[in-house]
Amino acid sequence: MKQTRHESEFMSLLRVKDKSPEEVATVLGISPRAVYYWLSGSREPRLTIKQTQALCSLLECSVHDLPVYFGPNKNAETPSI
């Protein structure tokens, strides 16, 4: 799965599955802002089992396919100037 610089693994997964953060929020019954907090790395998701199942169903994946960390890829190289 190719990521753009600093893009989160979760955002990459959404792109591959052609899903938006807004769709994730709707399926999980949360605000889109909460999903954007995850993507920015400012908050971590705290999903119930039902929400995790719904997310896996939406993304057509198993829980093992979900990234451990939903925020930006902090290991990406930063260009030197």
Residue 40 confidence (pLDDT): 93
pLDDT tens-digit readout, 30-65: 999 999 999 999 999 999 999 999 999 999 999 999
Domain presence at residue 31: yes
pLDDT tens-digit readout, 5-15: 578 899 999 99
Domain presence at residue 81: no
Domain presence at residue 13: yes
Neighbours of 28 (CB within 10 A): 19
CATH code at position 57: 1.10.260.40
Domain presence at residue 1: no
For the entire predicted model, the pTM comes to 0.81
Note down the domain range covering 37. 9-65
Q: How many domains does the chain have?
A: 1
What is the identity of the amino acid at 58?
A: L
